[in-house]
Structure 1
Amino acid sequence: MQATRPEILRGVRVWRLLRYLPSLWLRGKRNDLHGLSQQATQFDQFWSHSWQGSGWTKYTNILYLHNCMPASIAGTLSANIACGLVSAGFLDVQQRWCLLSGFVAFCTTLLLWHPRKFVFLDIVCIHQTDNGRRGQALLSMGAFLKQSKSMLVLWDPTWVSRLWCIFEIAAFLHSRSPGCKADLRIVPPLLGPSLLGGEVLACAVCMIFLYVESSMASSEGSILVGELYLMVIGLHVVLFLSFVIHALRGYARSVETLQEQLRDFKVEHARSACCDRGHEDKSVLCDREVLLQCIEAWYKSLDRFELQVQSEVRLAIINELAHNTLSYQHVLLLSTPYVWLRLEYAASHAGDPIRQVVDLAQTFTYLLAIFPVVDKLGFRLCYRLRARCCKPYLDFLLSMVIVIGAFMLYVVCYAIQLYVFRQNDRGLLLSVISMLSWWTVAAILWRFI
């Protein structure tokens, strides 16, 4: 697993991809991407993807994975500062500064944050027009993989059919030292768009909720209208979540199909780009021939390579896609607008510090315990009930049942919280004990769900 020449090893900073990739891609200057790379000896991460997959979903996933955490932290810090200023009387409590400042800081950081991670991405780090340099890079693929500390797979349904993609993950696992667990992460195509869009949508819902709540408080006549608005919003949220659950069940079925494809994997059935094009340019080195040479050199036979794909690679991929797709961190990031909303209430109780602490205890109970458990349970139900029903309307109805079931669990948790925090809104010790108890229960449930 050595490079043909040291200068062939090239990598790129993630922030450069986030800044320049969309403009060059949209203008059709994909060949100019190589100018973003630089010579390297080691990589923080190797990015594997299928060229047949959607470009915008890959970009959104990259943006989410690298910028959403800093953006959420910046938004929460900004909301906390606004909460302090409102509590001190420098800002008007009626202007909803916490939610607004949190959202502005989130969007600004999301777009301007510069992640320093150094990665390999073939479309950038391999010259796409110089056939000589491209051929040497393909022959040096083992060196790229060996010098990478981790791997990120931007998975999509076409990924499993591409010989290059399967080879990359198999070779990465093969290159790790015996007994050393490979740092592998596999991301489905809609993870970033869904969670990033969900966070923005959650912020919008919080803003609408505050607006309706303030309208209801302004006069008695507007209470009925406000309640009607909340009911309509609630119905739309349930319907929207039903579509989300329906899509998640479809995703679970695609993972099951992927497992079957990997179990029966054969090199002869996998496809490569140059062969699909019929070798229009005879001067271009055939990708498939290069791969077969690498497989023969590293595995000694195709049978050993296929066996690794059918066993080790299959288990690693399915474990990531079926069990590790929704992480605790994902749920926390998705719930950050709720923190900004709760800071609005804490700021409105500036004259009562005990009430503020109780409000924050309630906030962290939902953020760190209730929301993660409910979301994880919903995700697991999607996987368990992934089978398609005989009728389309029954299939969608099943998705709605999952939403209603998760909602009922939330109602139960809310009722308990209502008793602890609302009936004892000045019981500081009881609130803290309740929060710690919820954290403990959630930690146990998260591990076993």
Structure 2
Amino acid sequence: MAISPTISTSTVLTIDDLLLELEPDLLRGAPLHVCLNRCGRYWVQESDQDQVNRLTRPAEQYHHFLSHDWGTSAWLKYVSLLIYYNSGAATLATILVSAALGVAVACDVLPEVAWMPVFGYLVFFTFLLFWQQLRRLVLRPMIVFLDKLCIPQDDEDLKARCIFGLAGFLDRAETLVVLWSPRYFARLWCTYEIATWLKNQGKPKPVVFLPVQISILFMICFLVVSLVQATTVLAETALLQSTASEWTVDAIFLLIGINAIMASILLPLCFFFWTKMFKDVAELHRQLTSFKVQETSCYCCTQRHRDPATGAVISCDRKLIYGVLKKWYGGAKKNYLEVFNGLVREQLSLPIQRKLQDNTLLLQYLAAAGLAAICPFFAMWIPRLARSYAEEGSIGLLRRLQPKVYLILLVLCMLHVSVLIGKAGVDLASCFNPILLACGQACFETLMCLMLWFPFSVSMFMTDENSYLPAVTLGVLFLVDIYLFYPSLTKACFCKRITMLIKALAGRH
């Protein structure tokens, strides 16, 4: 939270004001579904204070404290929170509903229509946007702290009291969720929140760093996989009525042609944003390892301690915050600012670096986007597989099932390859024009995809139904996926991910 308060001249604040306990009537929390309601209106525009008071409630504890700076795009922050809190439930709901529709069509309960996958996409976006509203029908809502809703905006004295009593809110939060952008650690108030969090003397509480750029990557990944899958299914539907020779020749060139056209448009755009995000993430590591609170910016200092509207003198937040840091980290022979700088570098830098090295944060959301883009087509796959089983038996069923499984494995593999290509772009960004670099990355990605798809296609088209060769190529790709995702599939990490998934579906994280 980067607050830029304009404190009235009647308000006199001291260092002790930042450390005093807040009055109970000032401790208010916002249900998470309110923060995500109405397409994030509370992130974008001003709201009536009476309405805000009705939406918030007294709170003794917060599930999450949402930390952000107001200079970053409100839409990026809003969509990032939707992905963080709702994408797991949205993906699971899409899988279940699409599979149920497919079974219903296979059992002749519903007619088979080409637009059946549309229902799966509707379910995905419904849950992505409204999962917290649906969840509260059966579970208690999560209570979070969002400055704009939980701090009075119509009373300058109360607003100042809450702002400078920020430690009281942070102490009551279970998890700190940082909506990170490159400017976050350049803001003094954001730094103060981190300082307050690190000061917790009990069991260390978790910090979640959520780059707001994840919202762009998630949507681009979802769009790319959806369009590729849609064109593949449409081509397959059109060519199912053709002869075998037409299928083996025309289908390959049609699919390659359509997907190549889309790839030439969408993939460069994708890698342009990916490389930019990885550069920002690399900047995060640099910011943390060389962090200096003395170099952070503060609203009052940028305005030369004058209210831009009235010209009145405003108090210096930096002096107040430095005073608190001195009480926390100072001593007779200690440079309290350097002590705090060291805590940020040591306690935040290493954990974030480990997360970046195993790509955990990025891959879990990209995998959700990829699966959510494919799963709506279960409504078409299941009836076709059922017909294959009725007409050709188990051998025909396995033969038709293998391309579907291979496609899912290929998407997961290419997501990981895309991350590696995007990271490599950071090192090459200084040598090439950004557009040319993105096009080169897209070409390499397409080449890798064709190299992985070609052996399976040949094994399918050049062998009879009793051949094990397609299964062998599928097994090889499965092993490749296991190798790529191995850091996330160790016993400890796997159990942790299952726990995180359950909490995500419950909306607790």
What is the TM-score when the length of structure 2 is the normalising length? 0.75
Where in structure 2 are the equivalents of 1:335-346 lying within 5 Å?
335-346=371-382
Which residue of 2 is the match for residue 446 of structure 1? 485
Which residue of 2 is the match for residue 154 of structure 1? 179
Q: Which amino acid aligns with 2:75?
A: W
Q: Which amino acid aligns with 1:256?
A: A
Offset, 1:34: 5.2
Where in structure 2 are the equivalents of 1:339-418 lying within 5 Å?
339-353=375-389, 354=394, 355-356=396-397, 359=400, 363-364=404-405, 366-367=407-408, 369-389=409-429, 392-393=432-433, 395-415=434-454, 417-418=456-457
Change (3 A) 1:242 1:142: same
Offset, 1:56: 0.9
Offset, 1:270: 1.0
SS at match of 1:372: helix
Offset, 1:2: 6.3
Contact 2:35 2:42 in 1 (8 A): no
Offset, 1:51: 0.9
Pairs aligned (count): 443
Confirm or deny that 1:295 pairs with 2:325.
Answer: yes
Contact 1:13 1:117 in 2 (8 A): yes
Contact 2:44 2:74 in 1 (8 A): no
Q: What is the rounded CA distance, in whole Å, between the counterparts of 2:277 and 2:26 in structure 1?
A: 38
Q: Which amino acid aligns with 1:153?
A: V
Which residue of 2 is the match for residue 325 of structure 1? 361
Change (3 A) 1:14 1:448: closer
Contact 2:366 2:415 in 1 (8 A): no
Change (3 A) 1:207 1:412: closer
Change (3 A) 1:288 1:126: farther
Change (3 A) 1:158 1:284: same
Contact 1:245 1:399 in 2 (8 A): yes
Offset, 1:204: 4.2
Contact 1:75 1:103 in 2 (8 A): yes
Confirm or deny that 1:164 pairs with 2:193.
Answer: no
Q: What is the rounded CA distance, in whole Å, between the counterparts of 1:186 and 1:106 in structure 2?
A: 25
Q: Deviations over 1:283-314 (max 9, x none)?
A: 86653344223322322222211222233233
Offset, 1:102: 0.7
Offset, 1:441: 4.6
Q: Which moved more, 1:22-31 or 1:326-335?
A: 22-31
Which residue of 1 is the match for residue 73 of structure 2? 54
Q: Deviations over 1:134-173 (max 9, x none)?
A: 2332333223222222121111122121011122224323
Q: What is the rounded CA distance, in whole Å, between the counterparts of 1:151 and 1:184 in structure 2?
A: 5
Contact 2:27 2:169 in 1 (8 A): yes
Q: Which moved more, 1:78-87 or 1:252-261?
A: 252-261
Match 2:230 to one of 195, 202, 207? 207
Q: Deviations over 1:254-307 (max 9, x none)?
A: 233333333333333211223334341758665334422332232222221122
- For the aligned residue pairs, the C-alpha RMSD in angstroms reads 3.6
Change (3 A) 1:203 1:371: closer
Which residue of 1 is the match for residue 503 of structure 2? none
Q: What is the rounded CA distance, in whole Å, between the counterparts of 1:55 and 1:381 in structure 2?
A: 29
Where in structure 2 are the equivalents of 1:61-80 lying within 5 Å?
61-80=80-99
Contact 1:262 1:310 in 2 (8 A): yes
Confirm or deny that 1:305 pairs with 2:340.
Answer: yes
Change (3 A) 1:228 1:419: closer
SS at match of 2:80: helix
Confirm or deny that 1:40 pairs with 2:59.
Answer: yes
Which residue of 1 is the match for residue 40 of structure 2? 22
Offset, 1:250: 2.3
Match 1:231 to one of 237, 254, 257? 257
Change (3 A) 1:174 1:306: same
SS at match of 2:485: helix
Which residue of 2 is the match for residue 109 of structure 1? 127
Q: What is the rounded CA distance, in whole Å, between the counterparts of 1:360 and 1:148 in structure 2?
A: 48
Contact 1:72 1:106 in 2 (8 A): yes
Q: Which amino acid aligns with 2:103?
A: G
Q: What is the rounded CA distance, in whole Å, between the counterparts of 1:287 and 1:21 in structure 2?
A: 33
Q: What is the rounded CA distance, in whole Å, between the counterparts of 2:388 and 2:240 in structure 1?
A: 21
Contact 2:218 2:366 in 1 (8 A): yes
Q: Which amino acid aligns with 1:19?
A: N
Contact 2:416 2:484 in 1 (8 A): no
Which residue of 1 is the match for residue 350 of structure 2? 315
Q: What is the rounded CA distance, in whole Å, between the counterparts of 1:434 and 1:228 in structure 2?
A: 23
Q: What is the rounded CA distance, in whole Å, between the counterparts of 1:30 and 1:37 in structure 2?
A: 13
Offset, 1:15: 0.6
What is the TM-score when the length of structure 1 is the normalising length? 0.84
Offset, 1:105: 1.6
Which residue of 2 is the match for residue 92 of structure 1? 111
Q: Which structure 2 residue ranges, 5 or more long, are not aligned?
A: 1-18, 136-140, 331-335, 489-509
Match 1:255 to one of 260, 281, 291? 281
SS at match of 2:361: coil
Q: What is the rounded CA distance, in whole Å, between the counterparts of 1:292 and 1:389 in structure 2?
A: 38
Offset, 1:440: 5.3
Change (3 A) 1:425 1:102: farther
Q: Which structure 1 residue ranges, 5 or more long, are not aligned?
A: none
SS at match of 1:149: strand
Higher RCO (Cα < 8 Å, 6 or more apart): 2
Offset, 1:345: 2.7
Change (3 A) 1:2 1:241: farther
Q: Which moved more, 1:255-264 or 1:182-191?
A: 255-264
Q: Which amino acid aligns with 1:135?
A: A
